[in-house]
Amino acid sequence: MEDDLDVTSGSIIKIFIKYAIPTILGMVAISSASIVDGIFVGRFIGSNALAVINLIVPYVSLLLGVITMLGAGGCVLCGKLMGEKKTEDASRTFSKFIQIMFLLILIPWVIVLMFPYHVAYLLGADSSVADNTVTYLVNYTYFLPFQLMGIGLSFFSRVNGRPGLTSFALLLSAVMNVFLDFIFIVLSGLGIRGAAFATGLSQSMTFFILLPTFFNKNSALKLIKPVKFSKDILFSIFNGISEFLNETSSGIVAFVFNHVLMRQSGVDGVAAFTTINFFLYSGCLISYGVVASMNGPISINFGAQKLKRVNGFLKVSILFNLIMGACIAAALYFFDDLWVSIFLKNKAAHISELAVTYIGLLWPAFLISGLNIVITGYFTSTLKPGLSFIFSALRSLLLPILFILVLNSIFMDEKVFLSIPIAELLTLLLCLLYFFIKTRIKERQVFR
């Protein structure tokens, strides 16, 4: 363990600072690197390359979703077992999840390398960007096993009491991404291939930093002979399905947006959406960072039957995400022209105008999204996968796609971007309705 602060008895604020702040800083570094990545691509390669990056989003989101589902569900089960003082069972469960992750990663690795053009066209690429899409896709996929296993290990590293090291690994990866972008894109002139190399190499570092810690004799979780596939593991995978939806739905929604925008504005519309998608990704990533960092403390306290502390962690997480969301929304609202000009050169004036218009419709979503993400994460950490799945599906997949299709059929213009804030608001109202009904039921039971 990194220190002796006991998550079942120590100060909730101090534990939040210990677990969440390093994780959030790591997520900020990742999101900042992602934004810088977009700046390099947009300014030194071109707007078509930005469109390629956005076409790849559904593919990356699907892969991250699978790993996040296994990581979130697995670390909650491991945390519960650790809270019950069953450390050997926790290690065997951890080892099984790592085994499952590796086997699942091999599937897309083989498919993409064998059928790259089929995947590119499936993602929405047309003849003008197909070659560049394949170039990025293939070169990114070379590094896939190390990238995804590193992300998977990061979930278990936090519940293993190493949030600081996990955040350092993520931070180093982000810094390397920026550095390698400069080398491969600007200095070497490798274009879209260089962007893929930079992302793949840098994101692989997390794996090599975190893996040795699980062989340390002082590690609570160790890589040992895994258990057989059990009902608990199957339940834990299902418990992480909301996190799967949170990750993959952003890609699916981007996929739908890409197809709608290709019809509305062509490649220019997709390129403009890419600049906005960086901010959507960054804002959600920070909120996910809070949830991921609290999975360990909440699940351990839940396993130890300390429900008041579970609620305490929930309240602190909600407050933090509300403040952070308000800051991001304000930055986008007041400085929209500035953000867009950073990504695009003056000659891309039409794309810049589209991007500013999109921001004007999307910024209210950041006021609400962090709160919805915390609530679904709370359901996951307290082993309520059904509720977590329902609200995650509504917020991140069903409602956005429904409103995209409805608004596009009515207006056939940029108002389609109102679908995101409308979906967030409606999900929040449904969450509040659920808690109101639950509270009324408990009150009636008390008075009987």
pLDDT tens digit string along 34-68?
Answer: 667 777 887 788 777 777 877 787 788 788 878 88
**Side-chain-facing half-sphere of 43: CA atoms under 13 Å:** 15
How big is the chain by its Cα radius of gyration, in Å? 21
- Return d(Cα 230, Cα 221) in angstroms, integer: 19
| DSSP at 418 | G
| DSSP at 216 | S
Q: Would you say the C-alpha torsion 154, 158, 159, 161 has a positive or negative sign?
A: positive
Least confident of 29-38, 87-96, 148-157: 29-38
What's the whole-number average pLDDT of the chain? Answer: 81
**What is the token pair recorded at 206?**
């997390």
In angstroms, the Cα distances linking 115 to 57, 134, 135, 138, 250 are 18, 10, 12, 10, 24
- Return d(Cα 132, Cα 273) in angstroms, integer: 18
Residue 446 has pLDDT above 60, yes or no: no
- What's the pTM? 0.68
Using one digit for the tens of pLDDT, what is the confidence trace for 375-421?
Answer: 887 787 677 778 878 888 888 889 999 999 999 888 888 889 899 99
Q: What letter represents residue 249's amino acid?
A: S
